[in-house]
């Protein structure tokens, strides 16, 4: 098989292993990574987005208390087992904290000498078909712009034989549609912007969604909040209204929000809430149009 020049978008777990396998097969991968280091979604960022409902320039969605919901044995690569780290920073738990996952990915990149393939602080803007056998990748690089008068970002374009998209789907928040939310006076945020529960001290919080992030965050917030009410899609017969936390309740989905601060659920029950947290899944970072991939996030030059 002839060697191909391949663009890999993202230096998280998928991007790193894709780059390694491509190089093993004799290809020439180039990895584009928006952040200043490898790790992808497992790189914790203290700074939540300035826009609590949007991604802004913050890529990561990790919250401080996050642990894996799979045992480490299921998360490692076959030829590079995910064993407990040594020393004071090591986390021996099977369902480990996010810091341990990042250390594992960093060790994987070092072990297989992948850092030289990665262009850090480089954001892909679009991928377009160029002729019958090539792809044109357009990108912005803050790192390459250092020391130039380009205004902080340098834009360029290169041709590749193939493209591997490994940028995940957690960085662009997707919000639930709620009737009357424009007139509701409380605070809204997406779980993408959540880090620690302190801001919800003594408040009544409604959480939308009960997938892993909704489960984790509702319990995290229950430790400081006055009340936590979780809206879930389960059928009423399948739903238990009470939980292990005395101040945490499960409800059907939200029917509407009202001007007096009330949140009304589909079964007619209501609470007066201080905040609504959208623990809803993220949207893809690109859209496909006319044989091209256009990134939803754009580069302002």
DSSP string, 190-227: EGGG---SGGGTT-EEEEE--SHHHHHHHHHHHTT-SE
pLDDT value at residue 293? 53
* 155 and 55 in a common domain: yes
pLDDT at 61 over 50: yes
Could you list the residue range(s) of the whole structural domain that residue 72 is in?
A: 5-165
* 192 and 153 in a common domain: no
pLDDT value at residue 299? 30
Neighbours of 256 (CB within 10 A): 15
* 191 and 159 in a common domain: no
Residue 130 lies in a domain: yes
Mean pLDDT of 79-93: 86
Cα of first residue to Cα of last residue in the chain, in angstroms, is 40
* Percent of all residues in the chain with a pLDDT value above 70, rounded to a whole number: 85
Q: Which of 165, 200, 224 is the last residue of a domain?
A: 165
Residue 87 lies in a domain: yes
Residue 80 lies in a domain: yes
* 197 and 149 in a common domain: no
pLDDT value at residue 268? 94
In angstroms, the CA 213 to CA 225 distance is 17
pTM assigned to the model: 0.85
Mean pLDDT of 99-117: 97
* 157 and 80 in a common domain: yes
Mean pLDDT of 150-175: 83
pLDDT at 292 over 80: no
- 197-234 residue pLDDT tens: 999 999 999 999 998 899 999 999 999 999 999 999 87
* 157 and 24 in a common domain: yes
- What total of structural domains would you count in the chain? 2
Q: In the structure, what pLDDT confidence band is assigned to residue 301 with cuts at 50, 70 and 90?
A: very low
pLDDT value at residue 286? 55
Residue 86: Cβ-neighbour burial (10 angstroms; 0-12, 13-18, 19+): exposed
Q: Which of 165, 195, 210 is the last residue of a domain?
A: 165
pLDDT at 58 over 60: yes
Q: In the structure, what pLDDT confidence band is assigned to residue 160 with cuts at 50, 70 and 90?
A: very high
* Percent of all residues in the chain with a pLDDT value above 90, rounded to a whole number: 68
Residue 223 lies in a domain: yes
Structure tokens at 204: 């009544």
pLDDT value at residue 18? 97
* 160 and 187 in a common domain: no
Mean pLDDT of 169-194: 89
Mean pLDDT of 92-98: 94
Residue 286 lies in a domain: no
In angstroms, the CA 122 to CA 232 distance is 38
Q: Which of 107, 138, 165 is the last residue of a domain?
A: 165
Given a contact cutoff of 8 angstroms between Cβ atoms, the answer to whether 111 and 80 are in contact is yes
* 153 and 16 in a common domain: yes
Residue 233 lies in a domain: yes
Residue-wise burial string across 180-218, b where 16 or more C-beta atoms lie within 10 A, e elsewhere? ebeebebebbbbbbbbebebbeebbbbbbbbeebbbbbb
- 125-145 residue pLDDT tens: 999 999 888 999 999 998 765
44: left (phi over 0), alpha (psi -120 to 50) or beta: beta
Q: What share of the chain is helix, strand, coil (3-state, %, to 5)?
A: 20, 30, 50
* 193 and 142 in a common domain: no
Mean pLDDT of 58-85: 91
Structure tokens at 271: 């609470």
Residue 288 lies in a domain: no
* 189 and 140 in a common domain: no
Mean pLDDT score across all residues of the chain = 87
* 19 and 150 in a common domain: yes
CATH code at position 198: 3.50.50.60
pLDDT value at residue 154? 83
* 68 and 14 in a common domain: yes
Helices 98-111, 13-24: crossing angle, 10 deg rounding: 20
pLDDT value at residue 297? 37
Structure tokens at 130: 């160029």
Q: In the structure, what pLDDT confidence band is assigned to residue 296 with cuts at 50, 70 and 90?
A: very low
Residue 38 lies in a domain: yes
Nearest to 189, CA basis, from 161, 160, 221: 221
Which has more pLDDT, 288 or 195? 195
pLDDT value at residue 295? 44
């Amino acid at each position: 098989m002839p060697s191909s020049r391949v663009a890999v978008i993202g230096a998280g777990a998928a991007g790193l292993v894709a780059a390694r396998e491509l190089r093993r097969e004799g290809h020439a991968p180039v990895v584009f990574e928006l952040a200043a280091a490898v790790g992808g979604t497992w790189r914790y960022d203290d700074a939540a987005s300035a826009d609590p409902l949007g991604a802004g320039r913050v890529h990561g969605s990790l919250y401080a208390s996050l642990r894996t919901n799979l045992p480490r044995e299921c998360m490692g690569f076959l030829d590079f087992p995910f064993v407990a780290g040594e020393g004071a920073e090591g986390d021996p738990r099977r369902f480990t904290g996010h810091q341990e996952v990042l250390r594992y990915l960093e060790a994987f990149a070092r072990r297989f000498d992948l850092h030289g393939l990665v262009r850090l602080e480089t954001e892909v803007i679009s991928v377009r078909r160029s002729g019958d056998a090539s792809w044109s990748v357009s990108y912005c690089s803050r790192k390459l712009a250092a020391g130039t008068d380009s205004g902080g970002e340098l834009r360029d374009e290169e041709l590749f034989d193939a493209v591997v998209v490994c940028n995940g789907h957690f960085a662009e928040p997707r919000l639930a549609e709620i009737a009357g939310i424009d007139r509701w006076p409380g605070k809204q945020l997406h779980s993408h912007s959540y880090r620690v529960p302190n801001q919800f001290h003594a408040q009544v919080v409604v959480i939308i969604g009960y997938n892993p992030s909704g489960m984790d965050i509702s319990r995290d917030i229950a430790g400081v909040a006055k009340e936590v009410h979780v809206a879930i899609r389960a059928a009423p017969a399948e739903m238990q209204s009470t939980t292990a936390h005395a101040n945490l309740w499960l409800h059907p989905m939200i029917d509407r929000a009202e001007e007096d601060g009330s949140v009304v659920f589909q079964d007619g029950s209501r609470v007066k809430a201080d905040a609504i947290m959208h623990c809803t899944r993220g949207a893809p970072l690109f859209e496909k149009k006319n044989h091209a991939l256009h990134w939803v996030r754009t580069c302002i030059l």
